[in-house]
């Protein structure tokens, strides 16, 4: 695994925690948030331009339209599809504002969109949350933890869009607070201005993961040149004692939930610095740094050429030969990474050693890839809904049939926050039973593990998956008293 060192060599001139580097005049007036109704009006106006096509990807739980905007030059052969989506978290508006700005800029200056590129934008994935200035949607669900079970209308619509667009490259837009009390107590302000990470789900193939790593690294120099402090995205506590890691490798967030469709998937987080409890005094700068990064990704020709060389025009996810099921963040070397902060006393950017930064994703356990998965007839209804939401094909058994299977036993589900592995609970530990020949009853479901859907089927159904379905109450309830999970592995008969 590649080792990424955060470099804190670039010093920025700052005063009162604010960067001197000026933002262009066109951003300076962007200090008001765009409401849902203003947004609707903007995209409807753009729709009259021949380069823009507006559609409704679905509706939110309060019935607001989830607008999807396609932008492409007319009469051009498309070979590279890009999808930017924002505001899964309603109280993180800068990504939305940047996507609106980008769309308007392309209308005014079509050269911003390279030839042969089709750009799709969904700037408001969670309009209900946005209107309430809250993270969750109107029925109190965190959309960015719903990409596995797809119980929310908004995430269902987002995934339908993914399956129909099949983007080569997608970016999920978020924000983080860079002025947390924990840092302030140390006399520091967090100092990555904007951060980006790539899909790291262990089932993704190495080429896709290293393309992602390469792209994030490639963004560093153009951003730093513009006076924007850019880093690979990380989360965690305050250094030196707190633990840090890169973005979660689980399927339930947008980053990997999108990544399992096979294209290159990324997340961007821009840093919010509140002043006198005003969340948006620095909004123009956040929108500016967001727009710069998005345009850089959109316009970089080498990124496109490398991606096309890997994929061609159609995305074909590769079926892995084994399935990593358990993994954790670790540090494979003794050297400490560092974290950039602004020292409040001197107003200078400095680097703090972070000996508990865990940069390496270690696979603890893998299982062989089964031929298919078998779902018990009693639980078929719930799984039919789940598979339909993911548009994963399956068969229903009509006459009793002999199959060689392997059932799985649930050992534990950890529901509390785990202080060593830093995870919001839900870690599933399941073990494999010996192989057995069984007569399968009618009404049971068979879900084949096939090339096009293989990664998604494994991610969703593999019973020994550490962050699998049994972290959710609906599926945990199905586990029998003798701990048998409702999904078994169907094996090839020799
Ligand atoms: Zn977020």
Q: How far is ligand 1, taken at its centre, from the CA of residue 181, in Å?
A: 19
Q: How far is ligand 1, taken at its centre, from the CA of residue 272, in Å?
A: 12
- In this prediction, residue 316 carries a pLDDT of 83
Q: How far is ligand 1, taken at its centre, from the CA of residue 175, in Å?
A: 6
- In this prediction, residue 424 carries a pLDDT of 64
Q: What is the mean pLDDT of each run of 10 residues along the chain (494 residues)?
A: 37 42 88 96 98 98 98 94 98 98 98 97 98 97 97 98 97 94 94 96 93 97 94 95 92 96 97 83 95 98 94 85 92 93 94 96 95 97 98 97 97 77 77 96 96 92 95 94 96 88
Domain with CATH 3.40.630.10 in the chain: 14-361
Q: How far is ligand 1, taken at its centre, from the CA of residue 322, in Å?
A: 32
Give dist(CA 127, CA 142) in Å, integer. 13
Query: Which secondary-structure segment (H or E) carries 106?
Result: helix 94-108
Q: How far is ligand 1, taken at its centre, from the CA of residue 33, in Å?
A: 17
Q: How far is ligand 1, taken at its centre, from the CA of residue 89, in Å?
A: 5
Name which of 106, 213, 254 is nearest 98 in CA terms. 106
- In terms of Cβ atoms closer than 10 Å to its own Cβ (0-12, 13-18, 19+), residue 239 is buried
Name which of 253, 287, 252 is nearest 267 in CA terms. 253
Q: How far is ligand 1, taken at its centre, from the CA of residue 174, in Å?
A: 4
- In this prediction, residue 313 carries a pLDDT of 80
- In this prediction, residue 423 carries a pLDDT of 63
Give Cβ neighbours of residue 322 (< 8 Å, ≥ 6 apart): 366, 367, 368, 369
Q: Are 194 and 224 in contact (CB under 8 A)?
A: no
Q: How far is ligand 1, taken at its centre, from the CA of residue 267, in Å?
A: 10
- In this prediction, residue 419 carries a pLDDT of 66
Instruction: Return the CATH number of the domain spanning residue range 14-361.
Output: 3.40.630.10
Give dist(CA 461, CA 477) in Å, integer. 16
Plot region of 461 (φ>0 → left; ψ -120 to 50 → alpha; else → beta): alpha
Q: How far is ligand 1, taken at its centre, from the CA of residue 176, in Å?
A: 7
Q: How far is ligand 1, taken at its centre, from the CA of residue 362, in Å?
A: 25
Q: How far is ligand 1, taken at its centre, from the CA of residue 353, in Å?
A: 26
Q: How far is ligand 1, taken at its centre, from the CA of residue 44, in Å?
A: 26
Q: How far is ligand 1, taken at its centre, from the CA of residue 217, in Å?
A: 22
- In this prediction, residue 8 carries a pLDDT of 35
- In this prediction, residue 21 carries a pLDDT of 67
Residues with CB under 5 Å of ion ligand 1 are 89, 92, 174
- In this prediction, residue 421 carries a pLDDT of 61
Q: How far is ligand 1, taken at its centre, from the CA of residue 423, in Å?
A: 16
Q: How far is ligand 1, taken at its centre, from the CA of residue 78, in Å?
A: 31
Q: How far is ligand 1, taken at its centre, from the CA of residue 88, in Å?
A: 7
Q: How far is ligand 1, taken at its centre, from the CA of residue 258, in Å?
A: 15
Q: How far is ligand 1, taken at its centre, from the CA of residue 147, in Å?
A: 14
Q: How far is ligand 1, taken at its centre, from the CA of residue 309, in Å?
A: 32
Give dist(CA 133, CA 135) in Å, integer. 7
């Amino acid at each position: 695994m590649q080792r990424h060192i955060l470099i804190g060599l670039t010093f920025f001139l700052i005063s009162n925690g604010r960067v001197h580097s000026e933002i262009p005049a066109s951003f300076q007036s962007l200090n008001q948030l765009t409401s849902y109704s203003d947004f609707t009006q903007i995209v409807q106006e753009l729709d009259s331009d021949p380069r823009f096509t507006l559609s409704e990807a679905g509706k939110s739980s309060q019935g607001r339209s989830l607008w999807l905007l396609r932008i492409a030059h007319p009469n051009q052969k498309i070979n590279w599809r890009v999808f930017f989506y924002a505001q899964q978290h309603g109280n993180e508006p800068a990504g939305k504002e940047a996507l609106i700005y980008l769309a308007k800029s392309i209308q005014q200056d079509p050269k911003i969109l390279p030839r042969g590129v089709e750009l799709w934008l969904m700037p408001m994935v969670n309009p209900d949350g946005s209107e309430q200035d809250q993270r969750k949607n109107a029925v109190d669900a965190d959309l960015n933890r719903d990409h596995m079970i797809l119980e929310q209308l908004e995430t269902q619509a987002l995934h339908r869009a993914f399956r129909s667009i099949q983007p080569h490259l997608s970016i999920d837009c978020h924000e983080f607070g860079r002025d947390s009390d924990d840092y302030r107590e140390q006399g520091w302000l967090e100092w990555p201005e904007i951060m980006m990470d790539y899909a790291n789900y262990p089932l993704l193939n190495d080429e896709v993961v290293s393309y992602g790593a390469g792209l994030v690294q490639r963004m560093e120099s153009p951003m730093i040149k513009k006076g924007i402090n850019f880093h690979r995205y990380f989360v965690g506590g305050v250094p030196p004692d707190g633990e840090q890691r890169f973005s979660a490798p689980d399927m339930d967030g947008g980053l990997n939930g999108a990544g399992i469709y096979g294209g290159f998937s990324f997340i961007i987080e821009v840093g919010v610095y509140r002043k006198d409890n005003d969340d948006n005094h620095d909004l123009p700068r956040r929108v500016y740094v967001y727009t710069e990064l998005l345009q850089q990704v959109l316009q970089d020709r080498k990124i496109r050429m490398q991606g096309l060389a890997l994929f061609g025009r159609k995305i074909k996810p590769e079926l892995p030969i084994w399935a990593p099921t358990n993994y954790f963040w670790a540090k494979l070397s003794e050297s400490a990474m560092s974290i950039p902060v602004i020292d409040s006393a001197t107003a200078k950017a400095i680097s703090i050693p972070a000996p508990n930064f865990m940069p390496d994703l270690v696979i603890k356990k893998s299982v062989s890839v089964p031929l298919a998965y078998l779902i018990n007839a009693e639980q078929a209804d719930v799984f039919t809904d789940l598979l339909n939401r993911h548009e994963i094909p399956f068969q229903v058994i009509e006459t009793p049939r002999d199959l060689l299977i392997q059932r799985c036993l649930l050992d534990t589900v950890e529901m509390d926050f785990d202080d060593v592995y830093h995870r919001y609970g839900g870690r599933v530990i399941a073990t494999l039973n010996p192989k057995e020949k069984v007569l399968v009853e009618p009404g049971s479901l068979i879900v084949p593990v096939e090339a096009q859907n293989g990664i998604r089927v494994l991610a969703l159904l593999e019973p020994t998956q550490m962050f699998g379905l049994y972290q959710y109450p609906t599926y945990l309830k199905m586990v029998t008293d003798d701990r048998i999970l409702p999904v078994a592995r169907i094996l090839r008969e020799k």
